[in-house]
Amino acid sequence: MAKLALTSGAYSAQSLIANAQRSVNLYPEANPEKTEPEMPVTHYPRPGLGVLSLPPAPANGRCLYRSTKGVADPNGDLFAVVGQSVYFIDQDFKFNLLGTLQTPAITPASMADNGTDIIIVDNSLQGYAINIATKAFTQIGDPNFLGSTRADFLDSFIILNNPGTNQWYSTLSQQIVFNALFIGIKTAWPDNILCVVAIEREVWIFGPQKSEAWYNAGTVPFPFQLVPGIIIEQGCQAAYSPAKMDTFVYWLAAAPEGGYMVMRGGGQNIAQRISTHAIEVEIKKYPRVDDAIGSTYQMAGHSFYKLHFPTADKTWGYDAATEQWHEDNWLDSNGVLHRSRNTFCAFAYGKNVALDWNNGTLYEMSADILTDAGQPIPWIRSFPHITNELQYVSHPLFTADVETGTRAGTTEKTQFLSPWSSGFSSGFGPVTAVPSPVVNFRMSRDGGYTFGKYRPKHRISSGKYRSMMRWRGNGIARDAVFELSSTAEMCGALNGAFIDPIAAAA
């Protein structure tokens, strides 16, 4: 039998005859060669979501932020914006209302702090401050405050952009106080500023067409100066797409020459393209991209940048460890895939936490959580093309190398569940049938354009480790693409597959 390895992430090319590999809710991890693995790469399900708490007034989640210092936790307290409400989230993950934003909106808000006070901006003319120690919430009344899309911190200054202009500015050192002379002007290219980001002791000024870098020169009155001889040739296509991780900033970019790319920038003012041609073709299809939102989180040695497209209802995840992409989807009760719910992420009180964009629910993100707050997490993985000079090939056998049996307490029998609670009702209430778990297999005979029916395989429940996931009699094809999928919680990893192709008679 021949190995059919999965060595990359998602890559469905502009033409499916080139590549038709879809990867939904699975990310690849390279296996060290010294361990002599059966397959070079294993795919794992992305983390699940467990509910930590609900906001007092459900609304759109707009910001989740861990301060640099804290009272509840010396490493930083957790804050959130849900609708127009600003909350402190304590170590029990309880929402504590601090104040209310004046401008109704559903777009992201932004926070930054100087170790003493947090500033909140929401792309309006208003701004707000929270004292970290006392949790006192106030609206900024300084006439020199101009509003901002995004806030960040560098060298004792909180930095901001003046929305709709080519200006950016900062607070005074270690204060939420403003000086009318603390103004910088984007000069390297005549477009306005979308947002500013502090990265590696520099301020990156993002415009829609091109960007530039400034540094703290200690000058008077404005302490920052343009880095000589540097222009970042890529602009920013979505003001909420930049997100920081490690020593890099990630964002959805465009240049005057046209086309969308996802970029990573950092040391020595170099912007590196990290999107693939397949991702760029996909993004080009979306009806709107300027509302894209970026977020980051780290888990088990993987650093993920997630790019959410609200209008297109899609989320893409990029893993910096492998430099591969995957679709990150949430499944609704009708079986339809949508963009992921955990749009805003932070690490606080020892947990990876996330805020739901739709209703402000606070989640824990963990690989040990096998559902999205009770909803199944579907995974889908299609394989590389199987061809033999476009001659017909018979495929009598496909065997998936997939982990099974790891979910304790699951069985192969259909279970009937009821919400009945003894002592409160004389009836059992609605009965829900939960079918036995399966892994699905289907095959395309035309290179990934159309697929046949799903063929489920059982025997993957608790204790049925390494069950033989084998499908026989798959017929002939000139260009075969195989696909596996499941919503079962007990499928923990996918290595690849083994096939037994046989050249068919001419």
Which residue carries 């629910």 as its tokens? 361
**Residue 16 maps to a domain:** yes
Q: Nearest CA to 68 among 119, 138, 10, 5?
A: 119
Q: CA 173, CA 304: separation in Å to the nearest integer? A: 32
Contact 390, 447 (CB under 8 A): no
Q: Which pLDDT score is estimated for 348?
A: 98
End-to-end C-alpha distance for the chain, whole angstroms: 22
Burial 340-359 (b: 16+ CB within 10 A, else e): bbbbbbbbbbebbbbbbbbe
**Residue 399 maps to a domain:** yes
Q: Which pLDDT score is estimated for 435?
A: 66
Q: Nearest CA to 295 among 337, 338, 357?
A: 357
Say how many C-beta atoms besides its own lie within 10 A of residue 431's C-beta: 10
Contact 150, 134 (CB under 8 A): no
Contact 373, 328 (CB under 8 A): no
Per the rule left: phi > 0, alpha: psi between -120 and 50, beta: everything else, 360 is left
Q: Nearest CA to 57 among 77, 84, 78?
A: 84
Give me the half-sphere count of Cα atoms (radius 13 Å) on the Cβ side of residue 241: 30
Q: CA 452, CA 280: separation in Å to the nearest integer? A: 28
Handedness of CA 91, 97, 98, 102 (dihedral sign): positive
CA distance readout (Å), 428 to 101, 374, 415, 424, 434: 45, 21, 15, 10, 16
Q: Which pLDDT score is estimated for 487?
A: 85
- Domains in the chain, number: 1
Q: Which pLDDT score is estimated for 421?
A: 47
Residue 40 in tokens: 């070079």
Q: CA 127, CA 138: separation in Å to the nearest integer? A: 9
Q: CA 502, CA 395: separation in Å to the nearest integer? A: 6
Q: Nearest CA to 113 among 176, 196, 27?
A: 176
Q: CA 342, CA 365: separation in Å to the nearest integer? A: 9
Rounded to two decimals, the pTM is: 0.93
The answer, yes or no, to whether the previous bond of 221 is cis (omega within 30 of 0) is: yes
Strand partners, 54: none
Measured at the CA of 464, the angle between CA 458 and CA 465, to 5 degrees, comes to 115
**Residue 452 maps to a domain:** yes
Q: CA 484, CA 403: separation in Å to the nearest integer? A: 13
For the chain, which residues score pLDDT lower than 70? 414-435, 490-491, 505-506
**Residue 368 maps to a domain:** no
Name the residue type at position 383: F
Tell me which residue range forms the domain holding 486. Answer: 2-45+380-503
Give me the half-sphere count of Cα atoms (radius 13 Å) on the Cβ side of residue 160: 34
Measured at the CA of 171, the angle between CA 170 and CA 177, to 5 degrees, comes to 150
**Residue 20 maps to a domain:** yes
Q: Which pLDDT score is estimated for 251?
A: 98
Run of H or E residues at 367: none
**Residue 29 maps to a domain:** yes
H-only helix segments in 242-371: 277-284
Burial 302-327 (b: 16+ CB within 10 A, else e): bbbbbbbbbebebbbbbbbebebbbb
**Residue 15 maps to a domain:** yes
Q: What is the CATH number of the domain that holds 460?
A: 2.60.120
Q: Which pLDDT score is estimated for 460?
A: 81
Which residue carries 């540094």 as its tokens? 215
Run of H or E residues at 117: strand 117-121
Q: Which pLDDT score is estimated for 503?
A: 84
**Residue 179 maps to a domain:** no
